[in-house]
Homo-oligomer: A and B are copies of this chain.
Amino acid sequence: MSRSITVLAPATVANVVCGFDVLGFALATPTDTMHLRLTDTPGVSIINEDDYNLPTEPTRNVAGAALLALLREAPAGTGIEVRIQKNIKPGSGIGSSAASAAGAVVGANELLGNPFSQEDLVRFAMFGEEVASGVQHADNIAPAIYGGVTLIRATEPRLDIVPLPAPELHVTVVHPQIEIKTSDARQILKKEVLLKDAIRQWGNVGGLVAGLLKSDYDLIGRSLEDVIIEPVRSILIPGFAAVKEQSRLAGALGGGISGSGPSIFMLSRTEETAQAVARAMQQIYQDLGIDFHTYVTRISPGGVRVVPTEQLHAHAVL
């Protein structure tokens, strides 16, 4: 048990195509770097080491709210300071706020000698998501903490998180630099859907889960279809249809909107294909004249990672 620690908190993709509100996965990169230490001052203090101008008042900061939730169940008088180097751009749709919240509680748990379960940590981190979006959702938090692909089977009467074994999958993400507010993306959804569309969707969810557990890439590809959310939300993302079409032509299994956008992700069987997909995406946004960033990475089997001391020193040298 040390007094200070560094964690790497991964970006995550939620609302995985047909799996709106239930399926998510962790990315190997990008990650936020967070340094946490125990202090003699009870409570939480936040230091932002980036240019995003995020709040430092703990109740208004994503990591802060998550830590305050954890401290309510920790020994009285515990004090934690966290320094955050954000590499995952807020508002990009790849779980920036979830990374901060998940990294904070995993780091704090490690500092305290791991008294809390993964489910506890998800529960704490969800208070961070509430600060970011007004809703306590676990779609990004669960994969950020568990790693790999996670299914949120249900949220009531209690949160039921199901880790799903998955074969090697490479991910290409494009983040067109436009702003979509999560609240706006929620508002354009209809409260009611056609039963026949819902049936098609849960057929695909069943297919996707089976494809992952059976390592059946073709089935994964066929199941990456969303007949409910994507037709509505994709109109908010310029170039969406072209990205989808060109990515499939480049060999991607399929993909869709990451979270509530504007990022779009595509899954591929090999890194080579994932690179070809990135080139196709780049061409589209260059042609549209929209600034963008692409990532070529893979689904990470692990979630928030505590960096060993040696690696820490290597980091410090860099």
Q: Which residues of A contact B (CB under 8 A)?
A: 18-23, 151-154, 160, 162, 164-165, 189-196, 198-210, 213-214, 219, 222-223, 225, 228
Contact = CB atoms under 8 A, between A and B. Distances in A.
B202 A202 contact: yes
A276 to B, nearest CB: 26
A19 B203 CA distance: 8
A151 B207 contact: yes
Nearest to A225: B154
B191 A193 contact: no
12 contacts: A19-B202, A22-B203, A23-B206, A151-B206, A153-B219, A153-B223, A154-B200, A162-B207, A190-B195, A192-B192, A201-B202, A202-B205
Contacts of A204: 153-154
Contacts of A21: 199, 203
A6 to B, nearest CB: 34
Copies in the complex: 2
Contacts of A214: 165, 213
Top 10 closest pairs, chain A to chain B, by CB:
A153-B207, A198-B198, A202-B202, A213-B213, A202-B205, A22-B203, A192-B192, A209-B209, A21-B199, A206-B209
A227 to B, nearest CB: 10
Given A154-B225, A191-B195, A206-B209, 9 more contacts: A21-B199, A151-B206, A151-B210, A153-B219, A154-B200, A189-B195, A193-B195, A198-B198, A202-B202
B203 A201 contact: no
Given A164-B210, A210-B162, A153 B192 contact: no
Contacts of A152: 203
A20 to B, nearest CB: 6
Contacts of A23: 206
A297 to B, nearest CB: 24
A203 B18 contact: no
Contact of A162 (B18, B191, B201, B219): B219
Contact of A228 (B195, B203, B222): B195
Contacts of A192: 192-195
Contacts of A225: 154
Contacts of A153: 203-204, 206-207, 219, 222-223
A318 to B, nearest CB: 40
Contacts of A202: 18-20, 22, 198, 201-202, 205
A152 B200 CA distance: 10
A203 B202 CA distance: 8
A85 to B, nearest CB: 35
Given A207-B162, A210-B151, A194 B191 contact: yes
